[in-house]
Amino acid sequence: MAISTLSKFTVPLANDQSSASQGLLMPKLQYRFRAILENFGVSTPRSELTKQVIDITRPNLTFDTVTLDVYNSKVYTAGKHTWEPITINLRDDVNNSVTKLVGEQIQKQFDFFEQSSAASGIDYKFTARIEMLDGGNGASAPNVLETFELYGAYVENVNYNTLAYNQSEPVSITMSIRYDNAIQTPTGTGIGTAVARTIGTLSTGGGQ
């Protein structure tokens, strides 16, 4: 079967919407990623966390709904937005590298010995990067397809999880990370890139 026939494995579109030879687009794969936490804890190398990641959720954005009551109808507009926390699961290790870094970050946020808080967010907030990769490795270095950059991050919740005699699974540490803002890079990828706002009738359903 000729490779060109792979173009048949797709949804048929109008001639002016897509190339006739264009088939399915190659999907990004869930297991091809890298998570990096910059300025997390105080020990080095912080790359130990990257190697111990089990899984991580990508950002989730929610807009408040503003309801405007107008005569016989209701109109809805977008209000303030909220970046929902992400969750990251880490394998704990026998060298205590992961638990040490996590503990240091928690201690930066609040000194549990002295029972004192940090003076400001700059004293403990960090940056998180979630990179989607193309699968390269070794001599063929991976290309970064997309990056979510999370700014003003801190640990909202840490769970050292369960120990059990009847399980053989690695011990894990789960963190919920809250952050102030997120953008996608490179520029032009998505969130964080300026787009034109066109005023027209499509949004309201009006006609000529």
Segments of the chain with pLDDT less than 70: 1-8, 15-22, 198-208
Identify the CATH class of 27-185.
Answer: mainly beta
Residue 87: beta bridge partners? 176
How far apart (Å, rounded) are the C-alpha atoms in residues 187 and 16? 27
Q: Are 156 and 126 in contact (CB under 8 A)?
A: no
What angle is formed at CA 121 by the lines to CA 154 and CA 116, rounded to 5 degrees? 95
Whole-model pTM: value is 0.85
pLDDT per residue as tens digits for the range 117-152: 999 999 999 999 999 999 988 888 899 999 999 999
Q: How far is CA 87 from the centre of its chain?
A: 9
How far apart (Å, rounded) are the C-alpha atoms in residues 44 and 40? 10
Comparing C-alpha atoms, which of 126, 132, 78, 70 is closest to residue 102? 126
Q: Are 75 and 58 in contact (CB under 8 A)?
A: no
Helix (H) or strand (E) holding 149: strand 144-159
Comparing C-alpha atoms, which of 153, 104, 101 is closest to residue 125? 153
Q: At a CB cut-off of 8 Å and minimum separation 6, what does 75 contact?
A: 67, 68
Residue 184: beta bridge partners? 148
Q: State the pLDDT at residue 2.
A: 45
pLDDT per residue as tens digits for the range 2-19: 444 556 677 777 766 666
Q: State the pLDDT at residue 19.
A: 61
Q: State the pLDDT at residue 39.
A: 94
Q: State the pLDDT at residue 1.
A: 41
Comparing C-alpha atoms, which of 176, 172, 152 is closest to residue 164? 172
Q: State the pLDDT at residue 187.
A: 74
